[in-house]
Structure 1
Amino acid sequence: MTERYWIPSNDFIERTRLFKWMQKLGFNDYDSFYRRSIDEPAWFWREVEKELEIPWYQAYSQVIDESRGIEWTKWFVDGKLNAMDLSINKWAKHPTMKEKEALVWEGEDGEGKRYTFKELSGEIQKVAFGLKRLNLKRGDVVAIYMPMLPETVIAMMAVSQIGAIFTPIFSGYGMEAIATRIAASKAKLVITADGFKRKGNSVLMKEELDHALVSCPLVERVVVVGRLGLPRKEEKREYKWEDLYSVDPTLSPEMMQSEDPLMLIYTSGTTGQPKGTVHSHSGFPIKAAFDAGIGMDLRQEDTLFWYTDMGWMMGPFLVYGGLINGATIVLYEGSPDFPKPDRLWTLVSRYQVTHLGISPTLIRTLMKYGEKGLPANELPSLRVIASTGEPWNDDSWLWLFTEVGKKRVPIFNYSGGTEIAGGILGNILLRPITPSTFNAALPGMAAYVYDDAGKPVQNKVGELVLTRPWVGMTNGFWEQPKRYIETYWSRWPSTWVHGDWVIVDESGYFKITGRSDDIINMAGKRMGPSEMETVLASHDLVHEAGVIGVPDVQKGDAAVCFVVLQKKIHETIELEQTLLEYVGSKMGKALKPKKIHFIRELPKTKNGKVMRRMLKNAYLHYPLGDVSAIENKTILNKIAELKE
């Protein structure tokens, strides 16, 4: 096993929410607790909602109903609740918590706002009443194309309060991606902002939306938040955010069935059509709150800051995971390295953040700045750093753990997905943590690694699967039930195939080696691309790398590597040979790459995830499919020009 870098003391373990909860349920060791959590999902998820103190308008008659098959499991049957009520009003009515801070916002320009739970509830009431006056009804869809502003959270909650459905759209998307998602969801109203600040510039969102709406005839109204204070044209279907406000609203939240849709989160597809994952009023909020609260040890009056966008899954996770647990959530509008490379750490210090969420790509970006990318001072408030989005390489993990966390702060590696509503794998805080791995499957997640025959394996690369249902699982794809079944449930009976290629050892530590459709089969030896990427990134001259498999007459697949060098390092034929030999010496001659290309950057999504599919398709001149999530599309043209 890899060296254990973070080891919890007995005192630390005993103070965690997870351990205290386990003891209350009669368990002292994680393995036996985990086993019962997956053997008896009805028992487990009942205990979860009780521990989170979910307020129900009407009690549920049964926790789980699998009568239509595991694929279409229903949760908390007959139960009635509202996601806004269990996130906000629960605390706004509390005698002491109502005056505690619920949300803190900072703009890139330094502007800031703060809201208590009581104040946030009042703002939501006003907007919800205004939405009703715009004839928005239960079951209607509202697209929220917004940056990270307080109004973004208020809009989400107001839509939920009246029983409508919201679909968040990434704030950096262009008109084609925006139009595709609005049209697919059949949204009748869009809430947007005139723009926002990014690296000192103004991003004009409303202009982009106007272009998109040309092909969205179902949209009846647009509400605009004046973040930049830009002058606007008077249009019949347009309203200012302030137009929604009423003087004295008295509006009770809609009593929603547990399985009623709350939101649609669209993920990019390999073809042109994104997938609209459907999440319910009970599912996503409870799963997110459980993973954040019990998993990551987030407590009342802690502060959670996840650097993300509301259009990615981790945006709603931040909102529900933080607020349901009675924590303060921090929203930041701009770039984490502007105007100085340590802006992220300044925010952590200023708002006394206890739980910080980042991506490995963000950390690799800060590493490039050297000492300037580190915190100027110690970060004593910080108790947990969580990471998600992509696999780590050891160098960047160790930099974060050693240089930022000072070997004190555990890194909660976290992997799941939009369709999961949270995590499958994580670093529970009861066990030692090793670089770049996950020390457990999370409670309630019946995770296994299967070989090609559908049998569990250890110490061998295989498919990550789930064999039992969980709260938070998507209720299919919006108006595409067949596609949902084909995507996740078609390989083995009653088995969710997640699409990650994973190794688990005899101690239960998992490592993700890549997406299973990215796997490279070299002369019968299967390799996840992240293994070779980690080796390349460990070389002093390499900043980061992407690896793909290409057809090869002799080996079946051959590895082709795309390397971004450290600054001031110049590419040469000799350097390519040096790196080829370096990989061969580390991984064995049989796994030596066929070719290394030097490029200025890797194709990434706008939240920093390397898109190997785009690397491969561009390099082999395959159709690119949906490129709406790619931030730096021009690099794909450069990759297409490369020669083997």
Structure 2
Amino acid sequence: MMDYVFIPSYDAVRSSNIARFMDVYGIRDYKELIERASKDIEWYWDAVSHDLNIEWFKHYSRDKILDVSDGIEWARWFVDGKCNIAYNCLEKHIKDGKGSRPAIVWENEQGSRRIVTYSELHSMSCRIANALSAMVEKGDVVCIYMPMVPEAIASMLACSIIGAVHSVVFSGFSARALADRLNDARAKVLITADGYYRRGKPIELKNSADEALKMNDTVERVIVHEYSNMQFEESSKDVMMSSILKQESSHAECVEMDAEDRLFILYTSGTTGRPKGTVHVHGGFMVFAAQQAAYLVDMKDSDLLFWPADIGWITGQTWSVYGSLLLNCTSLIYDGALDYPLPDRVLRMVDDYNVTILGMAPTALRAIMRAVDDETISRYRLDTLRILACTGEVIHEDEWFWYFKRIGKARCPVINLSGGTEVGGAILSVLPIMPIKPCTVGIQVPGFDADVVDDECRPVRGGKGYLVIRKPWPAMTRGILNDPARYIEVYWSRFNGVWFHGDYASIDEDGLWYLHGRVDDVIKVAGHRFSSADIEAALAMHEAVAESAVVGLPDELKGERIVAYVVLKPLYRKMYDLPRLRDELKRHVENAIGKIARPDSIYFVDDLPKTRSGKVMRRLVRAKALGIKLGDVSSIENIASLEMLDNPY
């Protein structure tokens, strides 16, 4: 039985947003909250909308907040409600006299800085909205292919103002990947930039966009933000963002949207193959994003959130953009590599801006751990931090403790959470009012009826099972774009009427949840089933290992054999005799799990293929090992890592 390592103070609990909510409804503790919210989801989500002051142009039906008449798979929320998420993000706060508050604090790799107030963001968004209104109609798709700049966020809000549907595509994607998403979404307008810098090197984004447009026949106009003064060839479709911001009116009326009208399309990272276009709507996502920011990471208007996740991923949209703005809070937005020009850049920014809530992916934590020693950390105060957040993949114990002790000084809760693009945010999360054990993802988020089940969909306790959700939630994707059959197959075919999320999970004796990797990352050796994540966690316990990817390869005798690709910490690569280290790591796994889990082969590499959100793409590692076609590689941030897999040492 693992002990609790953090217990929130009385003051921290009493001052939290979620405790305030519980007080209003006479709820004694978080366990009672979870039970009540999962039993009566309509009561809960209605209560959230009221508690967080969401404004509706026309209030949804009191008698029918949730409609499942077409089946749970196609649930509709806030029936007959009329709203606009951009109104709640901007205009509402300005009318309340809060327009001068900073909405965005921004810095880029070169050190340029800006502060954008709510009034300024509203003005910018309205100008872009007015320009877009001459190019698209309500329901048309606008693709945003931009670096992390305020104009990108304003473009998202501009779409929402006029009822267009935004589809943000990560600016690190290739022309081919962009073209695939433009074509699938049938986008009519593309908003992009001339270029940007990564690790000091110019990235000519407009040229990539132009290449994509050669493979597309739906885009009619292109808005170009002249961000980095890079040269590009202007076409007849192009309109300059600078002209729009000078010439268009700074006022635009928010279009009245039905709660179920589309807000955005966001493609999954594609770790399991062809990307899926998830579909989110104004009403459900609005209430959900506000809840995720307010109750999970406890955002308040006195906070500064720094969660360096691209807006091309759900984390960036849910917390850094919509969640923060809905609550009239402030986000620090960074355009650049987190380790450039020095690996302690994140720590410097925390101190420079007095960040109070820091969110990081385990991949980013590992990179900083490898490069930043305790002496360097000691140069930074880090004393304004009160919440540490973490998401993206399973976090290992050494990473968790490093984050908790070195960055949070053992006084900040680690809000480890997990969900997905198709979820709209988190299914599971630590809450700021609960005691914490290392690596736990806490409990089911209030409003979810989640469970861990076996192959017969029976609850599992004291062991691993499948993560499922038995009832709908407001930000559940409204299908997969253009492919309803695939939506049913992926999420609803395993168990009738139950959402199958594809993760292995467990619940301990105290009711705390843990994740153990993806179901499709299971290795079967001589009839024994192992999660890649479990073997990777065992490897991570060795002092020499920075990170690893474990895959199963066909074996005539055992069915599959275990192969590990390991990234060593720099110091240990020089210290160790590598053949001896291989044997030591194999024994290490054997001692941690059992002889049957001992890797057959271990290869050392300098990097592993990852998505921009930090997930290791084991699918590509396995394909490389087998010498087969890689499939979709558009999600990879570090394309050079694929060559490293061909040349291990």
TM range (shorter): over 0.9
Q: Distance in 1 between matches of 2:529 and 2:618?
A: 17
Q: Distance in 1 between matches of 2:577 and 2:496?
A: 50
Q: Give the drift of 1:623.
A: 3.4
1:30-69 residue pairs with structure 2 within 5 A? 30-61=30-61, 62-69=64-71
What letter is aligned with 1:177? Answer: A
1:11-410 residue pairs with structure 2 within 5 A? 11-61=11-61, 62-95=64-97, 97-133=98-134, 135-245=135-245, 246=247, 248-269=249-270, 273-317=274-318, 318-371=320-373, 374=377, 376-410=379-413
* 2:531 matches 1:525: no
Residue equivalent to 2:548:
545
Residue 375 to residue 447, structure 1, CA distance change in 2 (3 Å): farther
Aligned length: 641
Structure 2 counterpart SS, 1:77: coil
1:633 to 624, 639, 648: 639
What letter is aligned with 1:284? Answer: F
Q: Distance in 2 between matches of 1:128 and 1:140?
A: 13
Structure 2 counterpart SS, 1:562: strand
Counterpart contact for 2:72–2:471, Cα < 8 Å: yes
Residue 306 to residue 497, structure 1, CA distance change in 2 (3 Å): same
What letter is aligned with 2:553? Answer: V
Structure 2 counterpart SS, 1:233: coil
Q: Give the drift of 1:55.
A: 0.9
Q: Distance in 2 between matches of 1:550 and 1:413?
A: 31
Q: Any unmatched runs of 5+ in structure 1?
A: none
Pairwise CA RMSD: 1.8
Q: Give the drift of 1:272.
A: 5.9
2:483 to 474, 480, 484: 480
With 382-391 and 503-512 compared, the bigger mean Cα shift is at 503-512
Counterpart contact for 1:346–1:375, Cα < 8 Å: no
Residue 378 to residue 638, structure 1, CA distance change in 2 (3 Å): closer
Q: Give the drift of 1:635.
A: 3.5
Q: Distance in 1 between matches of 2:644 and 2:341?
A: 30
Q: Any unmatched runs of 5+ in structure 2?
A: none
Counterpart contact for 1:190–1:223, Cα < 8 Å: yes
Counterpart contact for 1:100–1:301, Cα < 8 Å: no
Give a deviation string over 1:603-632, Cα, whole Å, max 9, x none. Answer: 211232111111122212343221111123
Q: Give the drift of 1:138.
A: 0.6
What letter is aligned with 1:87? Answer: C
Residue equivalent to 2:585:
579
Q: Distance in 2 between matches of 1:593 and 1:12?
A: 45
What letter is aligned with 1:109? Answer: Q
Counterpart contact for 1:93–1:118, Cα < 8 Å: no
With 625-634 and 382-391 compared, the bigger mean Cα shift is at 625-634
2:459 to 452, 456, 460: 456
Q: Give the drift of 1:249.
A: 4.5
Q: Distance in 2 between matches of 1:40 and 1:75?
A: 14
What letter is aligned with 2:141? Answer: V
Q: Give the drift of 1:220.
A: 0.6
Structure 2 counterpart SS, 1:499: strand
Residue 602 to residue 272, structure 1, CA distance change in 2 (3 Å): closer
* 2:469 matches 1:466: yes
What letter is aligned with 2:340? Answer: F
TM-score by length of structure 2 reads: 0.95
Structure 1 counterpart SS, 2:587: helix
Q: Distance in 1 between matches of 2:199 and 2:367?
A: 15
Structure 1 counterpart SS, 2:210: helix
Q: Distance in 2 between matches of 1:34 and 1:271?
A: 32
Residue 574 to residue 262, structure 1, CA distance change in 2 (3 Å): same
1:475-514 residue pairs with structure 2 within 5 A? 475-514=478-517
Residue 413 to residue 155, structure 1, CA distance change in 2 (3 Å): same
Structure 1 counterpart SS, 2:423: coil
Q: Give the drift of 1:507.
A: 1.5
Give a deviation string over 1:272-297, Cα, whole Å, max 9, x none. Answer: 63211000012223212201111211
Q: Distance in 2 between matches of 1:348 and 1:127?
A: 31
What letter is aligned with 2:609? Answer: P
Give a deviation string over 1:186-240, Cα, whole Å, max 9, x none. Answer: 0011000111121112211111111111011111111110111234434211010
Q: Distance in 1 between matches of 2:489 and 2:639?
A: 29
2:603 to 597, 611, 624: 597
